[in-house]
Amino acid sequence: MGLADFERKKDEKINGVIYDMSPSPSFKHGIINNNINRIIGNNLKNSLCLVFMENLDFKYQPEVNDDYLCPDIMIVCDRKHLKGGAYYGVPKFVAETLSHSTAKRDRTEKKDIYEKAGVEEYWIVSPQGSVEIYYLEDGRYVLEQNYMLQTDKEDEDYNADQEICLKVFPHIVMTLSDIFEGVF
């Protein structure tokens, strides 16, 4: 047996169904996640909150079953709900970066799960340059912003310098160009 035989495959379990998330998404997916993770992590120093990137399962209804998601980016603040490789509380923030194999689930089932769980802010980021930001209001997600990156300074819709802050953490600010740095 080689080392690869012992490595855990990345997967998610929704309504008892396991979804294999292999093979890995494009390198752009990783760059975007790293950019967002780095900005958030740098701004959560000396905080009780932690940011995780693709390496912590979210057990979204542990009292009912053992289903789990593996968010691309997740901020957790209630450390007592961290157990092993999973989080059993409610994340403050989740971002999913779309890939061909997960895009539909990220926009439908997973969005509904995060909404029902009470995740206050949910971002759907596309490697093609868009960011959809949903805020939880009265138990339902409302699309607060929808940005499509425009980097041509001559274009009237230029928005690469558009600042976006996290609702729950308003001191965490990033621009669209920060999110997509190294992608375009």
Q: What is d(CA 139, CA 71) in angstroms, rounded to the nearest whole number?
A: 20
pTM for this structure? 0.92
Model confidence over 128-150: pLDDT tens digits?
999 999 999 999 999 999 999 99
Show the domain range for 35.
Answer: 27-179
Q: How many domains does the chain have?
A: 1
Model confidence over 74-130: pLDDT tens digits?
999 999 999 999 999 999 999 999 998 889 999 999 999 999 999 999 999 999 999
Residue 20 has pLDDT above 90, yes or no: no
Per the prediction, the chain carries an average pLDDT of 92
Residue 15 lies in a domain: no
Residue 125 lies in a domain: yes
Q: What is the residue whose two structure tokens read 């999110």?
A: 179
Q: What is d(CA 44, CA 111) in angstroms, rounded to the nearest whole number?
A: 25
174 token code pair? 């990033």
CATH of the domain at 101: 3.90.1570.10
Q: Can you point out the beta strands (E) in the chain?
A: 11-14, 17-20, 50-53, 57-58, 73-76, 82-83, 86-87, 93-97, 121-126, 130-137, 140-148, 163-165, 173-175
Residue 22 lies in a domain: no
Residue 4 lies in a domain: no
113 token code pair? 């799960």
Instruction: Report the pLDDT averaged over residues 8-21.
Output: 83
User: Quick one: DSSP state of residue 141?
Assistant: E
pLDDT of amino acid 7: 53
